[in-house]
Amino acid sequence: MKRRDFLTTSALAIGVVGISGCYKEDKSYKDVNINRGKVVKLKLATSWPAHFPIMGTGVDNFAKSCGELSGGSLEIKVYPKNILVPALQVFDTASASQIDAFHSGVYYWKGKNSAFSIFGGMPLGLTSEEMITWLKFGGGIELWRELYGKFNLYPLIGGSTGPQMGGWFKKEIKSVSDLKGLKMRIPGLGGEVMKKLGVNPILLPAGEIFTSLERGTIDATEWVGPALDKMMGFDKAAKYYYKGWHEPGSILEITFNKNRWEKLSKEHQAIITTASEAMTANMVEEFRYKNAKALQELSNHIEIKTFPKDMMIEAKKALDEVLEDEAKKNIDFKRVLDNYNQFVKLNTPWNNISTKHILDIRG
């Protein structure tokens, strides 16, 4: 009996030593459970109204998931636009360490660095699935983090809208000449292309778009797609709804103050990263389902149009000019564009014989 007790005790001791030894050897797990017994609180501001469908609720669920996955040791408080920060000032506020993080659209910050527009999505370019693949596996997110790092920021993919519609117009666009002088809410590279076609692009936050369109302050607007456009009431202010081209796969961001991010434990960083990836996947799927449902209702009383052929020919030429001009002016833009184009070159042959082929024959 004594011998058996000795062997059992020895085995347990060896096991404990073994486990302890493994823990000490693997330095990557040094922060596991380091937050047990205390709560880390973060302030996250958004560019959307409170509980805004899909995008806003996506962030709400992200914050909730971080709390649950951390066992309550990570508390992210979400502040809708204008509560702590105006919608389009979240970038600067996080950069200045006045908030910990924000959720917004990447292309809003092209005035900081035109290269940021590419991370948000390319007109006539990659879809959401392709954009996320480029960012995660093609080197895009490394460039994004390098360039945001100059502003003391650390970005993560914070969702995607899927393909967006081309916008709501008060008058029908029958040729490219009909665009001359139009005032249109349209951001990013799409806005730069439309500017070359004679449009006056205007950047407005969500809460100001409907009133501006209804009162004639703007003549047209793009926003997202049927689900959110219907909710915003654009079908009551404009008759013509055009199919998209300028945002085939727009990327949203969940971006942290870089100093604050680096002070988080590895455990909390991993939880945030996991929750952000779950939010991204869910957002793409939710947009597709709710856009399909909303389109059924909108189709009963609006006209869904295709932009005229001459306009799209000119838009493609204008896009090439915009990209070439920006690449000459901004070395960061050129580096990101070159990396993006390398992925396009790699991806296109496979896409053509897989997804595109199936869509072509499926009808």
For the stretch 233-271, pLDDT in tens is: 999 999 999 999 999 999 999 999 999 999 999 999 999
The helix (run of H) or strand (run of E) holding residue 140 is helix 140-149
Q: Specify the pLDDT at position 314.
A: 98
Name the nearest CA neighbour of 151 among 81, 90, 80, 88.
Answer: 90
The helix (run of H) or strand (run of E) holding residue 231 is helix 226-232
- Which strands sit side by side in the sheet containing 153-160, from one edge to the other? 74-79, 40-46, 101-105, 251-257, 153-160
Q: What is the tens place of the pLDDT at every residue in 147-174?
A: 999 999 999 999 999 999 999 999 999 9
pLDDT band at 23 (very low <50, low <70, confident <90, very high): very low
Q: What is the distance between the alpha carbons of residues 274 and 311, in angstroms, rounded to a whole number? A: 42
pLDDT band at 34 (very low <50, low <70, confident <90, very high): low
| pLDDT of 13 over the 70 cut | no
Q: What domains does the chain contain, in order, with CATH numbers?
A: 40-162+249-289 (3.40.190.170), 167-246+301-329 (3.40.190.10)
- Output the average pLDDT for the chain: 92
Q: What is the distance between the alpha carbons of residues 234 and 228, in angstroms, rounded to a whole number? A: 9
| pLDDT of 30 over the 60 cut | no
Beta pairing, strands 220-221 & 183-185: parallel
The helix (run of H) or strand (run of E) holding residue 160 is strand 153-160
Asked if residue 356 lies in contact with residue 141, where contact means CB atoms within 8 angstroms, the answer is no
Average pLDDT in the 312-320 region?
Answer: 98
Q: What is the distance between the alpha carbons of residues 319 and 312, in angstroms, rounded to a whole number? A: 10
Asked if residue 153 lies in contact with residue 254, where contact means CB atoms within 8 angstroms, the answer is no
**Count of other CB atoms within 10 angstroms of residue 66:** 22
Mapped onto helix, strand or coil, the DSSP state of residue 143 is: helix
Count of H-run helices and E-run strands, the chain: 14, 11
Q: What is the distance between the alpha carbons of residues 153 and 96, in angstroms, rounded to a whole number? A: 9
DSSP string, 286-350: HHHHHHHHHHHHHTTTSEEE---HHHHHHHHHHHHHHHHHHHHH-HHHHHHHHHHHHHHHHHHHH
Q: Specify the pLDDT at position 35.
A: 65
Q: What is the distance between the alpha carbons of residues 47 and 237, in angstroms, rounded to a whole number? A: 23
